[in-house]
């Protein structure tokens, strides 16, 4: 049992946060390089983790390398704190690092995410860690790694626009709704991981540090605080985020990303916040959506009283 683990009282067989110290240093070096070159994919010696590839091995390694005993960790999966992936990773760090965990966005110092950015604006000092399946935005356009690296080196990104052109020619609009390509700091083309394009504007000049880890592909990249992140588009087909017809059925929030939830087998459905913490906070503050008694009814009730 090491000194640190003894003082923190976490499970003894593990080094703090599972990875050995040499590995953490190696990952930190990659992270520092990634921060120094915003949007550039830094190769790193990704380790085997006690979970399958595709379950966030990259994000977990990044989190393990940056987490300290005083950090407060939040883990979300598609915006939700209580799905299998989020719960498992949260428990993993509780067990191996003994850190405090939370579901509150504002209380967390590190937020590991699978495919969403919290609705609440992130603050300076917070770190958002993304789990990335395929870090290379040009991968499906150009299969050769040697060639895509050359394209990044020479900033040759015309091909990405060819993809967007094809979308408009075929569908009348840019049909890409997630993993929507962005330019970081005017230099590197970056895949924002499969977040919905709704979240792209939140990356732009964010006060929080954004780190991206791809475990299987062995790449780390970063968007330092206040960095420009611009979604690609055409002058006559500008970038637009997804729009929703209705507010959240539970908390009546507008301008947030909604999930469709099937209620019964007769076509009943509701649209609710994908960010569960945001939705719960709003309900605790007294906001009521359609399903919890419509706001209009409430207003009338107050009026009568």
Partner 1 sequence: MSPETMSADDQPLLVARGVTKRYGPHIGCIDVNFELFPGEVLAIVGESGSGKSTLLSVLSTRLDPTAGSVGYRMRDGVMRNVFDLNEAERRLLMRTDWGFVHQDAREGLRMGISAGGNVGERLMAVGARHYGEIRSTALDWLNRVEIDQTRIDDAPKTFSGGMRQRLQIARNLVTNPRLIFMDEPTGGLDVSVQARLLDLLRGLVADLGLAVVIVTHDLAVARLLSHRIMVMRHGRVIETGLTDQVLDDPREPYTQLLVSSVLQV
For the chain, helix, strand, coil in percent to 5 are: 30, 20, 50
DSSP secondary structure string for all residues of 143-167: --HHHHHHHHHTT--HHHHHHHHHH
| Beta pairing class for 219-223 and 209-214 | antiparallel
Which residue in the set 48, 236, 254, 285 belongs to the binding site for partner 1 (CB under 8 A)?
Answer: 236
163 to 202: interface string for partner 1, x by CB under 8 A: --xx-xxx--------------------------------
Which window, 64-72, 105-113, 222-230, 235-243, contacts partner 1 (CB under 8 A)? Answer: 235-243
| Residue 223 C-beta: closest distance to partner 1, Å | 23
User: Strand runs (DSSP E) across 110-237, as ranges?
Assistant: 110-114, 127-131, 182-184, 188-190, 209-214, 219-223, 229-231
Backbone angles phi, psi at 246, to 5 degrees: -120, 160
Query: Should residue 240 be labelled a site residue for partner 1 when binding is judged by CB under 8 A?
Result: no
Query: Should residue 159 be labelled a site residue for partner 1 when binding is judged by CB under 8 A?
Result: yes
Nearer to partner 1, 169 or 304 (CB): 169
Question: How many chain residues touch partner 1 (CB under 8 A)?
Answer: 17
| Residue 178 C-beta: closest distance to partner 1, Å | 21
Nearer to partner 1, 158 or 286 (CB): 158
| Residue 171 C-beta: closest distance to partner 1, Å | 11
Which residue in the set 9, 22, 235, 266 belongs to the binding site for partner 1 (CB under 8 A)?
Answer: 235
| Nearest-angstrom CA–CA distance, 212 and 154 | 22
Nearer to partner 1, 13 or 238 (CB): 238
DSSP secondary structure letter of residue 37: S
Query: Which of 86, 193, 72 is closest to 126 using CA atoms?
Result: 72
Nearer to partner 1, 147 or 280 (CB): 147
Nearer to partner 1, 234 or 255 (CB): 234
Instruction: Copy the structure tokens of residue 248.
Output: 């959240």
Query: Which of 277, 249, 269, 255 is closest to 83 using CA atoms?
Result: 277
Beta partners for residue 271, in sequence order: 260
| Nearest-angstrom CA–CA distance, 95 and 14 | 9
- Active site positions, annotated: 39, 248, 251, 273, 279
Tell me if 28 sits within 8 A of 204, measured CB to CB: no
Task: Indicate the helix (H) or strand (E) that contains 259.
Answer: strand 258-262
Query: Should residue 162 be labelled a site residue for partner 1 when binding is judged by CB under 8 A?
Result: yes
Query: Should residue 161 be labelled a site residue for partner 1 when binding is judged by CB under 8 A?
Result: yes
Which residue in the set 237, 241, 288, 291 belongs to the binding site for partner 1 (CB under 8 A)?
Answer: 237
**Region 102-121 residues binding partner 1, contact defined as CB under 8 A:** none
| Residue 157 C-beta: closest distance to partner 1, Å | 8
Nearer to partner 1, 145 or 260 (CB): 145
* Binding positions for partner 1, rule: CB under 8 A: 150, 154, 156, 158-159, 161-162, 165-166, 168-170, 233-237
């Amino acid at each position: 049992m090491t000194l640190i683990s003894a003082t923190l009282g976490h499970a003894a067989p593990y080094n703090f946060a599972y990875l050995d110290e040499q590995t953490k240093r190696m990952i930190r070096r990659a992270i520092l390089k990634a921060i120094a070159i915003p949007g550039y994919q830094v190769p790193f010696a990704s380790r085997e983790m006690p979970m399958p590839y595709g379950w966030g091995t990259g994000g977990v390694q990044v989190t393990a390398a940056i987490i300290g005993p005083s950090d407060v960790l939040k883990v979300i999966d598609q915006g939700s704190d209580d799905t299998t992936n989020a719960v498992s990773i949260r428990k993993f760090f509780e067990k191996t690092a003994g850190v405090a965990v939370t579901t509150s966005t504002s209380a967390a110092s590190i937020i590991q995410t699978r495919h969403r950015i919290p609705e609440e604006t992130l603050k300076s000092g917070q770190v958002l860690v993304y789990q990335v399946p395929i870090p290379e935005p040009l991968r499906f356009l150009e299969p050769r790694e040697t060639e895509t690296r050359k394209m990044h080196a020479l900033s040759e990104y015309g091909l990405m626009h060819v993809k967007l052109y094809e979308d408009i020619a075929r569908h009348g609009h840019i049909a890409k709704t997630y993993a929507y390509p962005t330019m970081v700091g005017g230099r590197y083309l970056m895949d924002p991981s499969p977040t919905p394009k709704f979240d792209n504007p939140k990356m732009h000049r964010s006060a929080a540090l954004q780190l991206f880890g791809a475990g299987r592909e062995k790449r780390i990249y970063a968007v330092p605080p206040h960095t420009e992140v611009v979604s690609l588009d055409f002058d006559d087909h500008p970038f637009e985020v997804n729009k929703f017809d209705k507010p959240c059925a539970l908390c009546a929030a507008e301008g947030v990303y909604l999930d469709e939830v099937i209620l019964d087998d007769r076509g009943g459905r509701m649209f609710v916040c994908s960010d569960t913490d945001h939705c719960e906070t709003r309900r605790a503050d007294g906001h009521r959506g359609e399903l919890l008694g419509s706001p209009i009814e409430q207003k009338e009730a107050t009026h009568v009283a």
